[in-house]
């Protein structure tokens, strides 16, 4: 299998799904929930399994957007610290999603511009 390059970086796909489906600080969501939607959307290497996304979810927690509230084998349950808002990055021209008090830096890993 060749290298699969998603059209939209996985970081942004994850944030978009949380924004659209789980943008509520009172409810929890899991990496499995998000992964199922990413797979359905089809913009991901089809050979990837949930473990391949672990670092992306750890990054969400490290950035202060979400916190890990429970873990059961490969399932990580998270809650948002704050609502997510949709913005547009003028550098990479992609829709991006940031927590309301999160650092104003583009979460696109190949951009990282100030917003």
Residues contributing to the site for Zn ion (CB under 5 A) = 89, 91-92, 106, 108, 111, 113
By beta-carbon proximity to Zn ion, the closer residue of 7 and 72 is 7
Q: How far is the CB of 115 from Zn ion (least distance, A)?
A: 8
On the 0-12 / 13-18 / 19+ scale of CB atoms within 10 A, 98 is buried
By beta-carbon proximity to Zn ion, the closer residue of 71 and 91 is 91
- Name the CA radius of gyration of the chain, rounded: 14
Q: How far is the CB of 108 from Zn ion (least distance, A)?
A: 4
By beta-carbon proximity to Zn ion, the closer residue of 27 and 91 is 91
Judge whether 109 and 9 are in contact, CB under 8 Å.
Answer: yes
Q: What is the DSSP letter of 81?
A: S
At 33, list the tokens. 């929930």
By beta-carbon proximity to Zn ion, the closer residue of 66 and 106 is 106
Q: How many CB atoms lie within 10 A of CB 67?
A: 12
Q: How far is the CB of 15 from Zn ion (least distance, A)?
A: 12
Q: How far is the CB of 22 from Zn ion (least distance, A)?
A: 23
């Amino acid at each position: 299998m060749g290298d699969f390059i998603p059209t939209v970086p996985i970081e942004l796909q994850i944030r978009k799904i949380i924004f659209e489906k789980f943008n509520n600080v009172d409810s929890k969501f899991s990496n499995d929930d998000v992964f199922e939607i990413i797979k359905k959307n089809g913009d991901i290497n089809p050979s990837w399994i949930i473990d391949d996304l672990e670092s992306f979810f750890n990054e969400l927690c490290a950035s202060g957007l979400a916190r890990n509230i429970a873990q059961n084998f490969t399932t990580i349950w998270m809650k948002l610290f704050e609502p997510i808002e949709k913005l547009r990055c003028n550098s990479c021209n992609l829709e991006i999603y940031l927590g309301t008090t999160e650092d104003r830096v583009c979460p696109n890993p190949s951009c990282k511009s100030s917003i």
